[in-house]
């Protein structure tokens, strides 16, 4: 009787699902056809490379494909590029008795001496198999000296040696190593593919699972099949033969979707009391506040996608009922508020990671979201806020008909409100526009911005940029694009991205500016209100700015 059969009959130690259902053939690997089909073709045609690099996020099949490849190159009876799985070599690699396939964890064996030992061992011919295969996991953890020691062997390896390097952080690997490997990129597995695999596993285990529950597990796993199977294992231990969406949420410690929808309503209605009450209830149920913060970020991301994409359903993972409720909610909130809320929540999450009291930080965040506190830090220049505050104090409590002196800087204030970046003169703007040429790499700039903040990149989606002298002029019909440019921290990071990409330092500006005298100019509206009330307003230079 096989080991797996004994386990199913209750003998021996229980095998966790991600090991029990690890694919044994390339055809069983889920969601990576760009890797498996290419490897099978190379094996069929005898075009085997001496070194492979498997890169991608965790749980996407790098180690699994490494083991299948090590069996396929040594199999005594290969089948169309796949190992047979039954010969003594295949069985020996599976149970670890074939010593010619060596797995090395670079996280704990990352020194020069470790690689030197590997190089010496590689010179010996295989004992049982055709190839001596070295699988080096988390190869980016090797020291510089270890990489240099490995380099010579990768340049001129013995004919009987095959290297398979696996990493989640390919950018940390030296270019000299990359250039000597055949690279394969593993993609995050789609939620639908993960959900289908989970349903297959549950059927094999005699457990039923709702499709919404499988999709929820897939969404939590973020494209990692191993994480999905590990969570499914926990759900099976908690359930009594049937896994529901509620089972998954309870097991993973997630807030119910209705809580997230209610919290968003409280934010829109500025009801901080009800928001804090929900926080208190979830805290009593041992809900991690950092997890709640993450879920709220994900929820507002979904609202952002609904408001900005034509077909958001293709990438939003949730049930149809939840999607309809989210769609209705997205129609009642502005995109600017959505982006602002994500920014506040991300700042709160960072503070939690730095050791702040998570419950208190979440309660403070609730107040910021509901009252609008923190919005000025996101969109309004502090100097402008101070000028407006002084102006309000100057007119507070004045009786009808009392003259009020307003500094001449009101014109500058008005210009600042309309012009987030430093605005050149009108003649200068005409000259800049006349000499402007489209910036061909603007899409790449937005892509780089998305690496540190997807929400900021979304604000620049669809925009264009022009180069004119030492300026880059941004053109967009979205107000959020220029609201983001008001933020000095973001403006600085965007300039850094452009400098790293082009090697030049540019100023940022708008390609065109709205009419300063537009009807919704807040200062004009304020002064007009005073005039309508009978308060006389005159502009003087008080010499104090």
Instruction: State the alpha helices, DSSP H only, in 207-312.
Output: 211-221, 225-238, 245-252, 257-268, 272-284, 289-308
Confidence band of 289 (pLDDT split at 50, 70, 90): very high
Query: What's the pLDDT score for residue 497?
Result: 86
Reported in sequence order, the residue ranges of 49-181 that DSSP labels E, i.e. its strands, are 51-56, 101-105, 132-137, 161-167
∠78-80-82 over CA atoms, to 5°? 55
The pLDDT of residue 363 is above 90: yes
Per-residue pLDDT tens for 183-215?
Answer: 999 999 998 999 999 999 999 999 999 998 999
Least trusted range by pLDDT, from 141-155, 187-201, 217-231, 417-431: 417-431
Nearest to 252 by CA among 298, 281, 220: 220
Query: What's the pLDDT score for residue 519?
Result: 43
Per-residue pLDDT tens for 98-136?
Answer: 889 999 988 888 888 888 888 888 888 888 889 999 999
- The span from the CA of 59 to the CA of 80, in Å, is 26
Confidence band of 275 (pLDDT split at 50, 70, 90): very high
The pLDDT of residue 409 is above 60: no
Residue 378 φ/ψ, nearest 5 degrees:
-90, -40
Least trusted range by pLDDT, from 12-21, 386-395, 414-423: 414-423
Q: How far is CA 402 from CA 176, 399, 407, 534, 537, in A?
A: 77, 6, 16, 8, 9
First to last CA, the chain: 90
Query: What's the pLDDT score for residue 127?
Result: 85
| Residues 477 and 511: beta-carbon distance below 8 Å | no
Q: What is the 3-state secondary structure (H, E, C) of 67-87?
A: HHHHHHHHCCCCECCECCCCC
Beta-sheet pairing, 464-468 with 437-438: antiparallel
What's the CATH fold of domain 420-510?
GMP Synthetase; Chain A, domain 3 (3.30.300)
In words, the CATH class of domain 191-252 is mainly alpha
In words, the CATH class of domain 31-186 is alpha beta
- The span from the CA of 263 to the CA of 526, in Å, is 34
- Residues with Cβ within 8 Å of 25's Cβ and at least 6 positions away in sequence, in order, are 68, 82, 83, 85
**Percent of the chain clearing pLDDT 70 (strictly above):** 82
Cβ atoms within 10 A of the Cβ of 9, count? 9
Mean pLDDT confidence for 213-232? 91
The pLDDT of residue 515 is above 50: no
In words, the CATH class of domain 257-376 is mainly alpha
Q: How far is CA 327 from CA 262, 299, 313, 350, in A?
A: 14, 11, 10, 29
The pLDDT of residue 67 is above 90: yes
- The span from the CA of 147 to the CA of 140, in Å, is 9
**Domain edges within the chain:** 31-186, 191-252, 257-376, 380-412+517-540, 420-510
> DSSP characters for 324-341?
HHHHHHHTTS-HHHHHHH
- The span from the CA of 263 to the CA of 370, in Å, is 10
The pLDDT of residue 374 is above 70: no
Please list the residues that pair with 182 across neighbouring strands: 52
CA 519, chain centre distance (Å): 40
Per-residue pLDDT tens for 228-264?
Answer: 999 999 999 887 789 998 899 888 888 788 889 999 9
- The span from the CA of 248 to the CA of 235, in Å, is 6
> Model's pTM, two decimal places?
0.60
């Amino acid at each position: 009787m096989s080991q797996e059969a004994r386990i199913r009959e209750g003998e021996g130690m229980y095998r966790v699902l991600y090991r029990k259902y690890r694919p044994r053939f390339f055809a069983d690997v889920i969601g990576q056809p760009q890797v498996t089909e290419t490897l099978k073709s190379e094996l069929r045609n005898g075009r085997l490379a001496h070194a492979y690099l498997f890169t991608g996020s965790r749980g996407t099949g790098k180690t699994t494909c490494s083991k299948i490849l090590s069996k396929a190159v040594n199999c005594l009876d290969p089948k169309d590029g796949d190992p047979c799985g039954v010969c003594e070599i295949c069985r020996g690699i599976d149970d670890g008795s074939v010593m010619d396939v060596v797995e090395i964890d670079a996280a704990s064996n990352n020194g020069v001496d470790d690689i030197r030992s590997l190089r010496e061992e590689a010179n010996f011919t295989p004992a049982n198999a055709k190839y001596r295969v070295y699988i080096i996991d988390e190869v980016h953890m090797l020291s510089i000296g270890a990489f240099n020691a490995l380099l010579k062997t990768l340049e001129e390896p013995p004919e009987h040696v095959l290297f398979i390097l696996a990493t989640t952080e390919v950018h940390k690997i030296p270019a000299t190593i990359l250039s000597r490997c055949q690279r394969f990129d593993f993609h995050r597995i789609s939620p639908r593919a993960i959900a289908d695999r989970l349903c297959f596993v549950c059927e094999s285990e005699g457990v039923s699972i709702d499709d919404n529950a499988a999709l929820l597990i897939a969404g939590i796993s973020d494209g990692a099949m191993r994480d999905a199977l590990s969570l499914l294992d926990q759900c099976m231990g908690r359930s009594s033969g049937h896994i529901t969406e509620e089972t998954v949420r309870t097991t993973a410690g997630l807030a119910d979707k209705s809580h997230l929808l209610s919290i968003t309503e409280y934010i829109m209605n500025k009801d901080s009391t009800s928001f804090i009450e929900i926080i208190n209830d979830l805290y009593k149920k041992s809900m991690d506040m950092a997890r709640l913060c993450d879920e709220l970020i994900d929820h507002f991301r979904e609202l952002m996608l609904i408001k900005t994409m034509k077909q958001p359903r293709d990438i939003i993972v949730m049930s149809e009922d939840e999607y309809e409720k989210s769609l209705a909610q997205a129609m009642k909130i502005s995109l600017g508020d959505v982006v602002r809320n994500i920014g506040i929540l991300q700042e709160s999450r960072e503070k939690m990671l730095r050791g702040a009291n998570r419950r208190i930080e979440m309660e403070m965040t609730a107040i910021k979201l509901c009252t609008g506190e923190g919005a000025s830090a996101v969109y309004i220049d502090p100097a402008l806020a101070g000028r407006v505050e002084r102006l309000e104090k100057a007119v507070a409590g004045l009786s009808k008909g009392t003259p009020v002196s307003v500094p001449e800087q009101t014109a500058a204030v008005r210009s600042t409100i309309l012009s987030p970046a430093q605005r050149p003169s009108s003649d200068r703007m005409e000259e800049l526009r006349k000499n402007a040429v489209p910036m061909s790499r603007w899409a790449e700039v937005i892509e780089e911005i998305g690496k540190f903040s997807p929400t900021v990149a979304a604000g620049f989606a669809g925009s264009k940029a022009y180069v004119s002298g030492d300026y880059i002029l941004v053109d967009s019909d979205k107000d959020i694009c220029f609201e983001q440019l008001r933020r000095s921290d973001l403006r600085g990071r965007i300039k850094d991205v452009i400098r790293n990409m082009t090697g030049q330092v540019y100023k940022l500006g708008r390609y065109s500016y709205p009419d300063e005298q537009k009807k919704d100019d807040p200062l004009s509206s304020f002064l007009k209100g005073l005039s309508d009330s009978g308060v006389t307003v005159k502009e003087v230079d008080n010499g104090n700015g």
